[in-house]
Amino acid sequence: MRYIFTLFMILLYANSVNAQNTITGIVKDEESLVTIPGVTVSIKSKATAVQTNAVGQYSIVAAAGDTLTFTFIGYQPQDIVVGNQSQIDVFLVSDDNALEEVVVIGYGTARKRDLTGSITQIKGEDIVDRPGTNPIANLQGKVPGLQVTNSGRPGQEPDIRIRGTNSINGAKPLYVVDGLLNDNINFLNPSDIESMEVLRDPSSLAIFGVRGANGVIAITTKRAKSGQLNFEFNTRVGMKNVAKRMNMANAAQFKELYDEQRANQGDAPYNYSNWTGNTDWQDEIFRNAILNYNNLSVSGATERNSFRLGLGYSTDEGIINHEKHSQITLNINDEVRLTDNFKTGIVINGYRARLPQERNVFGSILAAPIAPIFNDQYGLYHTLPDFQRAQVNNPLVDIEERKNTYIGINYRALANWYAEVDFLEHFNFRVNLSADYGFNNLRTYQGLVSVYNPDIQGEDKSERIGNQLTSVNHEQNTHYKYQTDWLLNYRNTFGKHNLTLMGGFTTYLQGNEATTARRTQGEGIEIPNDPDYWYVNIGDPATTTGNSTASEYRTLSWLARALYNYDGRYLINTSFRRDGSSAFAKNGKPWQNFYSIGAAWVLSEEGFMQNVESINNLKLKGSWASLGNQNVGGNWYPMYPLMVPGNSAVFGDNLVPAYEAEYIPDANLHWEVVKSWEAGFEFNAIQNKLSVEAVYYNKNTEDILVRVPGILGSKPGLSNLGTIQNKGIEAAATWQQSLSENWNLSIGANITTIKNNVVKLSTDGYDIISGASRTVAGFPIGYFWGYVHDGIFQNQSEINQYATNGLGGGAFLPGDIKYRDIDNNGVINTQDRTMIGNPTPDFFYGISLSSSYKNFDLGIEFQGVHGNEILRTWNQNQFATFNFLTDRLGRWNGEGTSNWEPILHEGRSVNRQYSTYFIEDGSFFRIRDITLGYSFPSETLNKMRLQNLRLFLNAQNVATFSKNTGFTPEIGGSTTSFGVDNGTYPVPAIYTFGLNLNF
């Protein structure tokens, strides 16, 4: 009997094993037939789950009778009972597509259909395959209203502006990472990002109070999906190079131009006997650089706990030798649901980066090509000719002789603990406690460098250049942020009335400490070129200097928000925030109020629209808000001016130094205020294949902190006097189409127009000038101010028609630039300066094309900017003769020879005045990104025991069509001086190969 029972159990077990089948299939949208990646496929009542891959395929082991559940945001869940089939294809029903998608709105979330403003969501999967350690760099051209100006320098933070430049004091947006407010996200690994929301409209920004005026980029990191343990690995390796070179003269062309210049100046012919090189310095400086990004994550979840760990390591070489950025990132998410209505969790981010040594060698591209590179006899790099060696070095000296003399290491740790409880059916209370701590350690060594100089008489032709004593600079700084949020939420439905309320308070503390020190070698004692000795110790006070600073800033804020909709047709969004700031405790007015209201009318839900089957959604929307801006260039305490040296006094034989306040603050000083409004519409049609969104926006930054000039030598004041306006149109459209069962196509485009105007600054005529960049009332911020190039004086009779002071010394001579007489008084002088360019574009845009055919996917992105100008200053020769642009071959060298390029003559300073001669068209069109991928089919993955495997090729910045002479038309800068090309780091073309692996 025992044997019979044993045999029965074996047969029963074998039958149950045989009942386990591998189910494969593909998940698509029911209407468009587009495959859906990321769909969670789980087995009810079991801790087993997988996700569809990039082309919508899945594979799961299930038994007959099991129920498969297919879930994805924006679609209705679907259950299917497993029979004896091995393939189950699923068509999910759209729940109004993206309209049901949940987006971050600041201190909470909301359905996209309930929004009254402009928020764009970018999925992490849309940027993860792109090269770059800063995720914001890859939003370029993707989001209307978001202007991203990238730098090619590895690890460099891009210049970000949302809906224009709002203030003379700062335009940087606020970053919110899992609820923690921050001013940068250099610590964040793009592979750890679930989604990013770009908040631009007034109704969503007012809840951030004094930090919302410049826009907000909210980032949510990845969480574990419900189901079995999942490992994900992705890696990329690539190469980058400088796609665009500057057109510089070669040795023969240089000699032709320089000989003519010396003849024009009355100088003797130059002796080239020691200068027989023909060097292309761009070839010598630039290299093909390598990059490599690696990311590994493990995640798993049960009904009560979800955990994810992400680890990343990347190396990114610069296009200059010995320039390298490397970083390690760590992301931990752990959430525990202790009861059905209470959960708690923690998010931890860690970061360590080794920063590259930045070299300003691009000015050295102007080195004379007649100089050789290296002297083999002496084993030294060659110096440059005497007419430029005082201002320009052989670039290889900086690159090779001063290599590895910099150590820059950044550490960052961020933690966010939260707890959330649901109670009384409609209430929810959430608390967040966050901390951010960073430590930077920078050390620089300045050694002794010698070069070969053939002009030295005698046998020893080595010459020491640069500093004559070794020295060490050491800098350490720490910064810290602490934030707490205490939020109560209420959500309920009363018939057709839907109400969501949020209220609470938040605290924020931010501070930093910095110490710098320098040690110069003592008498005859060199500091070794060894990092072990690159410290500043206590020694001779004459050779050791130092300084330290510290600051701390606090805010306390009360906030409230209400979202209401009636029957899904009429929407209202209103918010209020009251910010208290330690910056204004001195004047007793630390509190400011900020508020907003937004409304929308969903016409498509009205009865008279129900018969219009082609329209799926039509919404009219608008919002208004009063926003705050405390981003004032790092000056957290404008009421507390720094002390600066004043007039000293003499008491007997003693000279007593005096100090006085840098400025006199207004007694009613407060943070800047932005009054902003927008109005527009959203439109979805033809079974949601077409989606269009457009708004008109108008932003007035009022009460800008501006210096008030002192009277009769008195100290300047600081008051809330300035006003700047930005207005324009944002529009985006997308078309998604299934061309066949296996072929899907998506086309998207967006465009943003900007019109910037400084309405008021301080007193009449008050301006801010930096070079040719000028900010004054009545003009765009930071516009270029100078003379209009109106041809070349061909002869003396043309010059005699003007009375002039020479504009820089001496009278005009034939061959000089003729500047336009703007005021038509027959005199060319400083009164003829006018607006010669605007660095703010008229509009910028992006275009995206994506398609998938079976297991292949292809994405192409284009990006462009139009209507802005660039000021070229890198060849505005002041104190030396540099190499020439090849354009100078068309110079004036006699009557009728040129009407644009002036005569070759270093003494004619009149030709170096800021004018349209140095203005270039900043418009460009770029093939921004091309990605080709292949996802292995389910059958192959099952044999390899993998969930997903995708290989891809990516090319970035493939081609840029522009008219500027520099390496790139992308040029950032400060709020009042941007678009100035003084030797901007090239934005390289990048080519990568990678794979995404799930198992």
- The 10s digit of each residue's pLDDT in 302-360 is 878 899 999 999 999 999 989 999 999 999 999 999 998 999 999 999 999 999 988 77
Nearest to 295 by CA among 203, 221, 393, 199: 221
By the 10 Å C-beta count (0-12 exposed, 13-18 middle, 19+ buried), 747 is classed as: middle
Radius of gyration of the chain (CA): 32
Q: What letter does residue 412 receive in the DSSP assignment?
A: E
Q: What is the pLDDT of residue 8?
A: 39
- Residue 939 in tokens: 């059958």
Q: What is the pLDDT of residue 1?
A: 43
- Residue 865 in tokens: 């900017």
Is 4's pLDDT higher than 60? no
129 versus 408: which is more confidently predicted?
A: 408
- Residue 904 in tokens: 């070759």
Q: What is the pLDDT of residue 661?
A: 86
Mean pLDDT confidence for 218-230: 82
Q: How far apart, in whole angstroms, are the C-alpha atoms of residue 27 and residue 91?
A: 6
Q: How far apart, in whole angstroms, are the C-alpha atoms of residue 159 and residue 173?
A: 10
CA dihedral of residues 936, 940, 946, 951 (deg, nearest 10): -20
Q: What is the pLDDT of residue 525?
A: 79
- The 10s digit of each residue's pLDDT in 9-49 is 443 444 444 457 888 888 987 766 777 877 888 887 676 78
Q: What is the pLDDT of residue 14?
A: 42
Q: What letter does residue 97 receive in the DSSP assignment?
A: G
Do the beta carbons of residue 489 and residue 500 sit within 8 Å? Answer: yes
Q: Report in angstroms the alpha-carbon separations of 994 from 36, 406, 578, 795, 903.
A: 22, 32, 48, 63, 53
Do the beta carbons of residue 995 and residue 235 sit within 8 Å? Answer: yes
Do the beta carbons of residue 581 and residue 210 sit within 8 Å? Answer: yes
- The 10s digit of each residue's pLDDT in 798-825 is 888 876 665 655 678 999 999 999 988 8
Three-class SS state of 542:
helix
Q: How far apart, in whole angstroms, are the C-alpha atoms of residue 136 and residue 813?
A: 51
Do the beta carbons of residue 378 and residue 462 sit within 8 Å? Answer: yes
Most confident of 91-105, 501-515, 729-743: 501-515
Block residue for tokens 């460009």:
924
Q: How far apart, in whole angstroms, are the C-alpha atoms of residue 999 and residue 995?
A: 13
Range list of β-strands (E), 358-496: 374-375, 380-381, 406-423, 427-446, 449-452, 462-465, 471-494
β-strand partners of 836:
none
Residue 219: which H helix or E strand, with range?
A: strand 216-221
DSSP string, 170-213: --PPEEEETTEEES--TT--GGGEEEEEEE-SHHHHGGGGGG-T
Residue 66: alpha-carbon gap to chain centroid: 48
- The 10s digit of each residue's pLDDT in 416-445 is 999 999 999 899 999 999 999 999 999 999
What contacts 496, CB < 8 A, 6 or more positions away?
Answer: 566, 567
Give the other-Cβ count within 10 Å of 876's Cβ: 17
- The 10s digit of each residue's pLDDT in 521-556 is 876 678 888 888 888 876 666 688 888 989 899 999
Q: What is the pLDDT of residue 44?
A: 77
Q: How far apart, in whole angstroms, are the C-alpha atoms of residue 482 and residue 489?
A: 23
Q: How far apart, in whole angstroms, are the C-alpha atoms of residue 658 and residue 646?
A: 5
Nearest to 153 by CA among 68, 242, 80: 242
Q: What letter does residue 398 receive in the DSSP assignment?
A: I
Do the beta carbons of residue 72 and residue 95 sit within 8 Å? Answer: no
Is 74's pLDDT higher than 70? no
Q: How far apart, in whole angstroms, are the C-alpha atoms of residue 390 and residue 384?
A: 9
pTM of full prediction above 0.85: yes
- Residue 299 in tokens: 């995640």
DSSP string, 675-717: EEEEEEEEEEETTTTEEEEEEEEEEEEEEEEEEE--STTPPPE
Is 101's pLDDT higher than 90? no
Quickly list H helices, 905-947: 938-944
Q: What is the pLDDT of residue 937?
A: 87
Q: Which amino acid is at 809?
A: G
β-strand partners of 757:
725
Q: What letter does residue 596 receive in the DSSP assignment?
A: E
Q: How far apart, in whole angstroms, are the C-alpha atoms of residue 201 and residue 215?
A: 8
